Structure formats: structure tokens, C-alpha cells
Chain A
């Protein structure tokens, strides 16, 4: 599945970038063609202008006389232009009749009145031709037509095309490889999330199916069984009730986890005095059966420490963590609740000298459904969601939660929350 998505991403990337590249190459080539043609035209124009400048027209007895003898290529009185590159040159009079020419034999009459053309000769060579109306004293004295072969321009353009033809596929290849690499990079967090979700779903479905199975089996056993003993039936109902109750806790925990993703909305945040909150929790908690077998010590501050938060959620976190600590601390042990500040943070610590957590389990301890000892947690009624919920609540408050533990020695849980 992921490889297919990655391939898709890479091919779409290559297709898009490739189209942009080809469009870009086409535009660059188009501009190069225009540029080269303009260059050729300028050269041709320069040459024909030099020729035209040498045409002399004089009035002799009211008759206009044209002197083409001093015109390069056309006249005999001048040296031919060195490296003129002109294939032909022709002079037409103002009536567009041919007067004199050099090179191939042109038509007798000029059909156009001026401008640049591209023409193809019989020998299949492309020529650039210019037809220049020549004026003297604002009077049209004739037309000069000349042409240059386009071979040099064509060669330069062919070379440019070759460069594009080689570099474009190479670039496309690089783009494809980059696309594949970027696709992999983009897939990584998705794959990670997917694996996480898969594991979570598998765990959740297992955790939900177990109580469901217990409920269904007990109920079905109840009406399939032939026993008429009321006490036995009552016990069965009791079992169904217990299992359904624990399942309801699990479902509300799961819903809770689903509901509080991300930061809490600002309207639900209130100024909360942590000192007061912890004093209340300690007072309530001391009477709980979990806390009866050990000494619960609190080291709080005298002044108030305020944070922005949801007091109920924060209370739930602290009670959750206290529950854990008390549950896994043997009789006669000690659980400490401490509150202090550290620069701009409020720190709550819950320290116990209980059974601790093996080092190998520590990195996973905040994962949903993670249980160090499956059997023991089940017996104590845990689903492995308590720490995940605590972490989510603290993160939603912009705080952090961390754990330090030495196996068989004890555990320290630390919550840091930004001070108001």
C-alpha cells in the first residue's frame, strides 16, 4: 500500500515537474530562435544598408540617372565585400523592374515592397531575404533585395536543440529520483502513524472484545444452563454487571482520548491555583483504599502557584498518577506529592518507593494500552490507558510529563506546566 502511494507521489511529481521543465525548455528554445533570427536580420540589414548607401542617383538634364557602379557586389568599380555571405543581391528601380543583380538570376519584377522573408531555394537551403526600399532626399530611387543563407543560424539552433534533448531527459531522471526520495520522506510519518493506528486499533478491539465476550458468554450460559439455583444466576448477573462496568470505563477512556487531541480551546482554560488543587486532592485521596496501606506525604508551597488550565482535567491527571503510584507501592511504602516552580514552569512530582518499572519498558510507558505486566494490570483493573490520558491532558495544556524509574526501587513522575 505504502509503496503504491510512494510510486504515485513520485510519478505525479515527475509528471508535474517534467511538464514544467518541457514547457520551460520550449520557451527558452523559442526565445533563442527569435534572438538568432534578429541577429541574422541585423547583420543582413547592416550589409544591405552599406550597399544601399553607395547607390547614387543624380539628375542629368531632368533625367534621373542611377549609378550602381560603386555598390559592392553589384558594381564593378569596388572591391567585393570580404566574406559578404550574401547569396544574391538585386537592384530594382522604383517601378520594381530589375536593373542589376549579383548571384542567382532573380525574377524580372519585384513582387513585394519591403521587409524580411525566409525562403527556401531549390537546393533546399533556407535563405533569409531582405527587400529594402532605398530613398534619396526623401525620394524613392529603387529597391535593393539581398539574401543570406541561414545555415549558421540553423547549426547553432540544432546544437542548442541537441543540448536540450540530452539535458531534459537527464533532468527528468533526476526529478524522478528526487520524487521517489521525497515520496519516501513524505510517507515516513504517514507509515509511522498508520502502524501506530493499526496497533492501537488491534489493542482497542482486543480490549473491547474481551469484556464483550465475557458478557455474551455469561448471558448465554445463563439462559442455556439448566440450573435453577437462584444464587448461581444472581452471581452470573453480578459478573455481567462488573464486566459491563469496566467496559464502560474503557469506552469512556477511549472516547476521552479521541476527544482531547491537540491543544485545549482557550475558553475552557481558567486560572487555576495548583497549590489549592493539590491540597484538595491529598485531602480526598488519603481516605481511598489504595492509599490506606502507605504513607502519603505532600510537600507543597505556601504561596499560590497559578497556571492556565482546566482544573477538572488536571485533577484527573494527578489522581491517575497517584492511583498508579499507590497501586504499585507495597504496604508500608511512601508516596510523595511535591509542587515547586522552576523558572517559568510549575513542577508537580509524584515520587514513590514502589516496585518500579523495568528499563526496557520505560520508552513505551506512555503508549496506549501498554502494560508492563498484562496479568497484574488486568487484575488491578487497568487497561494501560491511564498514562496515555495523563500525557494527552498535560500536552493539551502545553506542558510536559516525564518518568524516571528504577526497577524494584521506585518511580518519579514529573509534570511541568507553564506558569501563568
Chain B
């Protein structure tokens, strides 16, 4: 899952980014509203975590503009403003959740997971396509009682493919989704990663689920077990 984290106080930004990255999310951080706006226009995020009081553009107007532009990823507002009126204003601006600072990181992670569950193929803390199940917490993939461990990177790739099943995803899209902003992947990094994931899935008899669409990209093509 790709998260945009907008927080102007570096002292707060760093631990948040750290804990989210360690939890397996791909996190882009922005220190003010303008940078956040630019990032939103460049990438597709699965979740936005936004502080209210930001320089240049406030978190509130950032949230409004995001909703006005028709994007529908969940927004979590993380702020020191704690009155009921503030919460109402924040939620009405388009936020899906509201957390008052100082927030417990464990609670924050739980809320991030809760907001991330809003995909149709969600089951417990795992994603399911046909009879293939990806366990996000333990980073393993399971099919017909056979379980295979994945590396964090492979897990992130499979998660992205499973969140967008049957869609042709271009190399650019996948690279945008998987690599943090400013981290350019090497030219063959994605090819290598796809090959590694296919090898893992091969152990489950699902190696051919990831189809290469020539000249375009890749597609996760689930097949029911016979």
C-alpha cells in the first residue's frame, strides 16, 4: 500500500515515516501542502495521512481539493486540533478518519490497516484472489494449504497486483507504486522482481498467474483451481 504522509514538523515526521515503512508500506513524505499537492498530482496513493496545520496550504484545504479532484483514496487527518467542532470540520472536508495528536503509533497503524481494508478482496489481514491468499502481516502467500514466504519487496509487488486484479498495469505504474518518490529503480529492477515473484508463485502452481502483456506491462490473471 502506498501512503502519502504530510507533516511539517520533522521531529514528528521521521518516526511516523519510519514505523509505516517498517510495517511494509511505501511511504512518501511531504513537509508542506504545496509539495503534497504536487505529489498527489504525480502519483496514485492508497492512503493519505495529513496534518491540519501546514505551511502554504492547510491540510484541510488539501483534503478538500483532493476530494474535489475526484480521487477517492481514504484520508486520515492527524492533528493537534481536538475540539468536536474541529473534528466535524475535518471529516466534512473529506477526511475518512480523524486522529488527535499525540497519537499512539500502535493505534495509528491499526487505523491505517482499517482504512486499507477498503478493497473488495480483503479477508482478515490478508488479500484473496480466487484460492490464492496473501498474508500481509507475516508476508507469506498461501494456496491449497501450501505456504511460501515472500521478501518485503515481493510482498509489496504481489499486494499491488492483487489490489488491481485483471488490469493491465504498465511498468511505469508498477514502478510508481512500488518505489518511493525520488528513488529511481534500476532499469531491470522490476523485471528481476517479477521473475522472483513468479518463481515463488511457481511453488504454489500459480507461476503463470502473472502474465506479461507485450509492449504494455503485466497483468494478474487469477485462475480457479480445478
Contacts and interface: CB of A to CB of B under 8 A. Distances in A.
Given A210-B80, A212-B102, A221 B11 contact: no
Interface string B49-93: 000010100000000000000000000000011100000000000
B35 to A, nearest CB: 13
Interface string A201-219: 0000110011111111110
A404 interface: no
A102 to B, nearest CB: 89
Contact of A224 (B80, B102, B103, B106): B106
Q: Give the size range of A's interface with the partner.
A: 20 to 34
Which of A206, A211, A215, A236 neighbours the largest number of chain B CB atoms within 10 Å of its CB? Answer: A206
Contacts of B101: 209-210, 212-213
Interface residues of B, number: 22
Contact of B18 (A206, A215, A221, A375): A221
B9 interface: yes
Nearest to A240: B11
A227 B19 CA distance: 11
B102 A225 contact: no
Given A209-B101, A226-B22, A220 B15 contact: yes
A217 B16 contact: yes
B19 A214 contact: no
A315 interface: no
Interface in B1-25: 8-9, 11-12, 14-16, 18-19, 22
A157 interface: no
Nearest to A217: B15
B22 A217 contact: no
B87 to A, nearest CB: 15
Given A217-B12, A221-B105, A243-B11, 16 more contacts: A205-B80, A206-B53, A209-B80, A209-B101, A212-B102, A213-B12, A213-B101, A213-B103, A215-B102, A217-B19, A218-B11, A220-B105, A221-B16, A224-B105, A225-B18, A242-B11
Interface of A: 205-206, 209-218, 220-221, 224-227, 236, 239, 242-243, 374-375, 378
